[in-house]
Chain A
Amino acid sequence: MTSVITVPPSLDDHTFEQVVEQLASIPADAKLLVDARHTRWASPYGLTALLALGQTRQERPSFAVPETEDTASYWARTGFFRHADELFDLHGSVPRARAGESSVLLEITAVTKSEDVHDVVGRIQQKAQQILTKELNIDAKATVGFAMTLSEVCQNIVEHAGRGGWVGVQTYTWRKRLGNRRVVVIAVCDAGCGFRESLESAPGRVRSDRWDDAAALEEAVIRGVSRFRDPGRGQGLAGVRRYVGRWDGKVSVRSGTAKIAIVPSWDDDVPLLEKLAPFPGSQVQVTIPERVAGGTR
């Protein structure tokens, strides 16, 4: 029997939880169909997280592509189907990817090794400057920090995940919270070992009374703890937090059964969510909003 997971019409970091909840009761070796036929929109987080979902399955799952032509061709332009084809048996009409999608700042790209991070950073720099300054009214100086942020979140995969993941960067208009303002979003998702397991592998680690995915995220994201004893480690995510804080952005990290977020004033997300349905690896999203006169809001 094939289990079916329905992808919500609008797929982002919040609605992906509906996918994870459906997945929770399905054994990893069960036959699975991921049904995205009625999905109309997906954020880079949604798309890269779907790829991570494919990575979790022991038996190659099936994937029903969106029926709406615009949606399917947009997903094609993000490079989603190119990677999905390696993980899923695709069903439905898969459009050919065409160039020219300006909102796709970085096509979905596989990250498995250090060279991939060089490639990602090299590809994004020029386009990022143009988008950040012209579309988001952010100082050109922010471009380097943006590339650094991208580099550090991608390196988390290389250094800690134990398997490959994906990164995607996109700009879009955020109607829900920011009143039609533009945002640029970095999403980096993998189905690797996740933060808790990574920190548990630290040599000589003493377990505390409270130790779970939420505690691991607090240690890594808030306190800059790393599995390496080297005191220079753990600076990457601290740097990401600093950058995001400077540009009134948001960063959220989901791992295992918890999600932590540095929440700016324009957003109403919860800083720490616990006891979520389990999903392996780590899923990171960085959002930088357009700047308007007098602040971001």
Chain B
Amino acid sequence: MMMHIDVSTVLRQTLSCELYSNLVTRPTGAAVRTQIEALLADAREVSLTIIDFSHVGMIDFSCADEVVAKLLLRYVAAEREDREAYFLFRGVTDDHWDAIEAVLERHGLALVLEDEGGVARIVGMVNDGERAAWQKVYERGRTAAADLASALGTAPEACERLLDGLHRRRLLMRLDDGYVAVGGLTNVHG
């Protein structure tokens, strides 16, 4: 199940005000996240949600902590048994990045960003091995651990652990006997 959430629309609904396009203040961030969580409540066990910042003017640190970090902590880092929720962040510009980067660092989180051209990349707290593995899976489309091990020249067991870790962090989706990068669904059959 794929869902698209326009954050600026949620913001305006939350504040009941058309004038504000900035994600500022912690109470605002908490209210926006609560609204996003309400939308996610209808999602199935496995879901991919696009969190779209395209029409958000700016976001401050407090709001980024509430909207981005706490959302990821709740659905991703908590490794919920009942839900496999994946997030792809779209429309994140330099104007948003400082705040988002700071909260990812603070909480040791990572996420997948999609740029204007539809190309995805992994950002935040990941090591070089994780980054390389994610990138390879993204480029290849659905990939089994053994195939990735040969592509990266690493031991299959180490590769399996790497992929499993990325899956637990909801940066890779597990599909049948392989893995697909969040943001790389178009490559599944490619």
On A, residues with C-beta under 8 Å from B are 114, 117-118, 121-122, 125, 141, 144-145, 147-148, 151-152, 155, 158-159, 231-233, 235-236, 238-239, 242
Any A CB within 8 A of the CB of B131: no
* B22 touches A (CB below 8 Å): yes
Residues of A within 8 A of B99 (CB): 148, 239
In the bound complex, CA of A155 to CA of B107 (Å): 21
CB of B27 within 8 A of chain A? yes
How many angstroms from the CA of A146 to the CA of B74 in the assembled complex? 30
Can you offer 29 A-B residue contacts whose CB atoms are under 8 A? A118-B20, A121-B24, A122-B19, A122-B22, A125-B22, A125-B57, A125-B58, A141-B94, A144-B58, A144-B94, A148-B58, A148-B60, A148-B99, A152-B60, A155-B24, A155-B26, A155-B60, A158-B25, A232-B107, A235-B65, A235-B106, A236-B60, A236-B62, A239-B61, A239-B98, A239-B99, A239-B102, A242-B98, A242-B102
Majority DSSP secondary structure for residues of B touching A: helix
B132 adjacent to chain A (CB < 8 Å):
no
Contacts of A235 in B (CB 8 A): 61-62, 65, 102-103, 106
Q: Within the complex, which residue of B20, B27, B61, B65 is in contact with A122, where a contact is CB–CB below 8 Å?
A: B20
**Which parts of B2-52 form the interface with A (CB within 8 Å)?**
15, 19-20, 22, 24-28
**A242 proximity list for chain B (CB < 8 A):** 98, 102
- Are the C-beta atoms of A121 and B22 separated by less than 8 Å? yes
Task: Let me know if A232 and B103 touch, CB within 8 A.
Answer: yes
On chain A, the residues within 8 Å of B58 by CB distance are 121, 125, 144, 147-148
Chain B positions 73-108 with a Cβ under 8 Å from a chain A Cβ: 94-95, 98-99, 102-103, 106-107
Other than the given A148-B58, A152-B62, 20 more pairs (CB < 8 A) read: A114-B26, A117-B25, A118-B22, A121-B60, A125-B58, A141-B94, A144-B95, A147-B22, A148-B24, A148-B61, A151-B60, A151-B62, A158-B25, A159-B26, A231-B107, A232-B103, A232-B107, A236-B60, A238-B102, A239-B98
Chain B positions within 8 Å of A158 at CB level: 25
- Cβ of A110 to closest chain B Cβ, rounded Å: 16
Q: Does B163 contact A (CB under 8 A)?
A: no
B28 touches A114 (CB 8 A): yes
Contact B98 A152 (CB under 8 A): no
How far, in Å, is A245 (CB) from chain B's closest CB? 12
Distance between A232 CB and nearest chain B CB, rounded to angstroms: 4
Does B69 sit within 8 A of A, measured CB to CB? yes
**A233 proximity list for chain B (CB < 8 A):** 65
CA–CA, A268 and B39, complex, Å: 53
- For the complex, give the distance between the alpha carbons of A259 and B62 in Å: 24
Q: Which residues of A contact B25 (CB under 8 A)?
A: 114, 117-118, 151, 155, 158
Q: Is the CB of A232 within 8 A of B65?
A: yes
B168 CB-CB contact with A under 8 Å: no
- Residues in chain B near residue A122, CB distance under 8 A: 19-20, 22
Q: Do A118 and B24 touch across chains, with their CB atoms under 8 A apart?
A: yes
B residues near A141, Cβ cutoff 8 Å:
94-95
Among all A-B residue pairs, the 6 with the closest Cβ atoms: A232-B65, A239-B61, A151-B60, A144-B95, A114-B25, A235-B61
**B136 within 8 Å of A (CB atoms):** no
Chain A CB within 8 A of B70 CB:
yes
Contact across chains for B27 and A114 when beta carbons are under 8 A apart: yes
Q: What are the residues of chain A within 8 A of B20 when measuring CB–CB?
A: 118, 122
Complex-state Cα separation, A147 to B66, whole angstroms: 18
Interchain CB contact under 8 A, A152 and B28: no
Q: Which A residues touch B62, using CB under 8 A?
A: 151-152, 155, 235-236
**Nearest A residue (CB) for B94:** A141
For the complex, what is the distance from the CA of A141 to the CA of B98, rounded to whole Å?
A: 11
Cβ of B107: which chain A residues have Cβ within 8 Å of it? 231-232
